[in-house]
Amino acid sequence: MIEENIGTTDPSSRSLGNPDIAQREYKQLLCLSRPSYKMPIPVGWFCVSYSDELKIGESKPLRYFDTDLVLFRTESGRAVLLDAYCPHLGAHLGYGIHEEVGHGGRIEGETIVCPFHAWRFNAEGECVEVPYASKIPPKAKGRPCIRAWPVRELNGVISAWHHPKGADPLWEVLKYEEANSDEWGEQTRFEWTVNTPMQEMSENAADPAHFLYVHRVHDMPQWDIKYDGHLSQGVQNVNFRTPRGSVAGSISSVANGPGQGTTRFSGLCETFLMGLTTPIDHCTSHVRFIFIQAKADEGSNIAKGLLRDIVKQFEEDKPIWEHKRYRPLPILCDGDGPIASFRKWYSQFYSDFDVGML
Ligand code: FES
Ligand SMILES: [Fe+2]
């Protein structure tokens, strides 16, 4: 795989004449000549773990945001995400050497202990003890010496805030009634690693035409999509086809930034879907689908059939995403959806990037 960082390459520096033409040619070059491509890692909240996959006292290595990380849960129950490498001599805090809970560095109280020389770090990334030294080195004392990522734990999911310049969160993770209510059932989960930047998958929602040909639906979906700040919202009235005829219903989706999407299916069988996408690196994404169905419907054949259909649709899209190329200047027709509006909305999540490049 040829990889280039398109975010730091200045096309105008290659220009011998008109810089607009040079940029256009450069964009086409990006599309046509490479077997794969990168896109920037967007700003936002992204799922890094299910809550029930991180026990108290457990730490584990992760790799998201093109960064090595350690995730741990302190004795008080707080989930903490730090950059992986110890500022002392560089050990990975997510790989322990003794019999710890899980596989990472030992957790003591609210801190993690580096497996190499036992320096201890708190949830803010400050060193709080060097057990064999008379004092903590000034560079590590009273201030973070490892990056600590903003974390939220809601809806049975641990989310981390990514901003390439380290800015504080610009919006919050939303809490969903369906994930926190006795009237709704258990989470049913599906996961995929997809060899595509996450923007490509999100564009699915602004592309009704592919539903006819990839998903073989009978009628082209008619969405009303609104883009508003970091939110996008779409509503669609549908007729679900069942063996007993068609049932009127609706599908409504909300994207709370690029990483946290929800879809509510109503009419046939009340179903809530959290679609959580996390960038592993510039060209690979981790997708989690978490379904929660109303207890009254959970387990019915219709409920199972709906889940099967949604998962099938994702798996129909996957080979297209994994083998396509991003067209920054696509030729569109009048039957296409709001691709340009979607891309404009999405570009806000590339905070440090020249969006004219895409
Ligand atoms: S490398 Fe972490 S304490 Fe030495
Ligand atoms: Fe699709």
Percentage with pLDDT > 90 across the chain = 75
Least confidently predicted of 18-27, 29-38, 152-161, 231-240: 18-27
pLDDT in tens, 293-348: 999 888 888 899 999 999 999 999 999 999 999 999 999 999 999 999 999 999 99
Query: Which protein residue's CA is at the shortest distance from atom 4 of ligand 1?
Result: 117
Query: Which protein residue's CA is at the shortest distance from atom 1 of ligand 1?
Result: 89
Pocket of ligand 1 contains residue 95 by CB under 6 Å: no
Burial 43-59 (b: 16+ CB within 10 A, else e): bbbbbbbbeeebeeebb
Q: What is the pLDDT of residue 101?
A: 61
Among the listed residues 342, 321, 346, 319, the one whose alpha carbon sits nearest the alpha carbon of residue 332 = 342
Which of ligand 1's atoms lies nearest the C-alpha of 119? 3
Residue from 59, 88, 146 whose mutation best tests the ligand 1 pocket (most atoms within 8 A of CB) = 88
Mean pLDDT score, 1-26: 36
Q: How far is the CA of 344 from the centre of ligand 2 (A)?
A: 20
Pocket of ligand 1 contains residue 133 by CB under 6 Å: no
Q: How far is the CA of 197 from the centre of ligand 2 (A)?
A: 15
**Token pair for residue 18?**
């008109």
Q: What is the pLDDT of residue 20?
A: 45
Residue from 83, 85, 111, 116 whose mutation best tests the ligand 1 pocket (most atoms within 8 A of CB) = 116
For the cut 90, the answer to whether the pLDDT of residue 243 exceeds it is: no
Pocket of ligand 1 contains residue 116 by CB under 6 Å: yes
**Token pair for residue 251?**
């599908």
Give the span between the Cα atoms of 103 and 298, in whole angstroms: 36
Q: What is the pLDDT of residue 9?
A: 31
Least confidently predicted of 242-246, 265-269, 350-354: 350-354
Q: In what order do the strands lie in the sheet with 271-281?
A: 184-194, 284-294, 271-281, 260-266, 245-256, 231-242, 224-228
Least confidently predicted of 85-94, 144-153, 244-253: 244-253
Q: How far is the CA of 148 from the centre of ligand 1 (A)?
A: 17
| Dihedral Cα 146, 151, 153, 156, nearest 10 deg | -80
What domains appear along the chain, each with residue ranges and CATH number?
A: 11-35 (no CATH), 44-162 (2.102.10.10), 177-347 (3.90.380.10)
Cβ–Cβ under 8 Å, residues 62 and 69: yes
Q: What is the pLDDT of residue 36?
A: 58
Q: Which ligand is nearest to the CA of 146?
A: 1
Residue from 119, 127, 128, 139 whose mutation best tests the ligand 1 pocket (most atoms within 8 A of CB) = 119
pLDDT in tens, 249-308: 999 999 999 999 999 999 989 999 999 999 999 999 999 999 999 998 888 888 999 999
Q: How far is the CA of 351 from the centre of ligand 1 (A)?
A: 33
Residue from 68, 117, 128, 145 whose mutation best tests the ligand 1 pocket (most atoms within 8 A of CB) = 117
Q: What is the pLDDT of residue 127?
A: 97
> Whole-angstrom distance between the N-terminal and C-terminal Cα of the chain?
20
Among the listed residues 79, 131, 136, 73, the one whose alpha carbon sits nearest the alpha carbon of residue 107 = 73
In the structure, ligand 2 is a single-atom ion and the residues with CB under 5 Å from it are 204, 317
Pocket of ligand 1 contains residue 89 by CB under 6 Å: yes
pLDDT in tens, 16-67: 334 444 444 444 444 443 435 789 999 999 999 999 999 999 999 999 999 9
Which of ligand 1's atoms lies nearest the C-alpha of 130? 3
Query: Which protein residue's CA is at the shortest distance from atom 3 of ligand 1?
Result: 117
